[in-house]
Amino acid sequence: MATVSRVLNGKGPVLDTTRSRVQSTIESLGYVPHGAARSLITRRTNTIGVLLPDIYGEFFSELIRGIDAAVRRAGYHLLVSGSHGERGEAGAVLRAMRGRVDGLVVLSPDLSPPGLRASIPDTVPVVLLDSPSNSKAAGGFDLINIDNYNGAFTMARHLHSLGHVRIAFVRGPAPNVDADERLRGYRDALAALHLRHEEELELPGNFREDGGYRAGQRIARLANAPTAIFAANDAMAIGCLAALSDAGRSVPKEFALAGFDDIPIARFTAPPLTSVRVSIAELGGAAAERVLHGIRHENRHKRLHLTLPTTLVVRESCGAAPTSRANRERLNGTNGRRMDG
């Protein structure tokens, strides 16, 4: 048994002839090591857990893709679940993951850091995505955020630079850090540009296509309609585009339209969608690397708080000529910020 164990684990001295015999026998028997039994000895599952508010849509699929690529390079696998916006479900998922994962990536606006820590042992490293960045709210976890505020601020200024003074905004759901920061960036940009804030131009949304579609329907019916629409994410911008098209309204002739995230489909809409680019797969990869770092250091590492930059990507939906990569970098008014807590 000890010899077979050394062959399977690649540890300890084994004669080449013996190793060959063991491997040949393993293949002929179709033997696979029992992961649960091994984890009792090694106290490792070689699995990373991922908790998301949903697993529907391109944003989440890109995020999972980035996480999966990073953990697979390290010989780990993923266990993915969605809370579907239910606080109780998020806690149940985390409790179900106890003993099954070596670390966690969590994007869940419905779960507070104290609630998270109550469901997960202190030995398990956790990386929070898009959570409040103050050290008390972060609860001693690693934290990676998107620069939502500056991305939204830059987009609103861009739309104004095209001559728009009445810019509608389709909000994200509450409570949600991304939605709150994008709304704050939009409002502050209007104030900086000395544009009047109009309540009717802030429309409710939910970060999904149907929410954007309903917002587009409302905008199409307004007697004093805006000339530009900024949706807090691309999914809602695409839904809004469909609603305007169904109402016989033209983008960009009647409405300039922009979104946020720059999901892969954004460049293939008709017209192609102007957006704020978030490197979604990079966000996932950074989170995975940080979890793996925590595992290697037995969760005794120095906590990292990181903000990833965003980039303005101009396409035809806003009525402006598309920008080159060099111009996108010049237009980008954001910088990544790193804080070690």
pLDDT of the residue at 326? 40
pLDDT digits (tens, 9 = 90+) for 11-42: 778 888 888 888 888 888 777 765 555 544 44
3-state secondary structure of 152: helix
Per the CB < 8 A criterion, the answer to whether 135 and 113 are in contact is no
Is residue 341's pLDDT more than 50?
no
pLDDT digits (tens, 9 = 90+) for 259-282: 999 999 999 999 999 999 999 999
Rounded to the nearest integer, the mean pLDDT of the chain is 85
Strands 275-277 and 311-313, sheet pairing: antiparallel
3-state secondary structure of 324: coil
Alpha-carbon gap, residue 269 to 44, rounded angstroms: 45
pLDDT of the residue at 334? 42
Domains in the chain (CATH in brackets) are 2-33 (no CATH), 45-145+280-299 (3.40.50.2300), 148-279+311-336 (3.40.50.2300)
pLDDT of the residue at 38? 52
214 torsion bin: left (phi>0), alpha (psi -120 to 50), beta (else):
alpha
pLDDT digits (tens, 9 = 90+) for 156-193: 999 999 999 999 999 999 878 899 999 999 999 999 99
Strands 256-258 and 304-308, sheet pairing: unpaired
Taking the whole predicted model, whether its pTM rises above 0.85 is answered as no
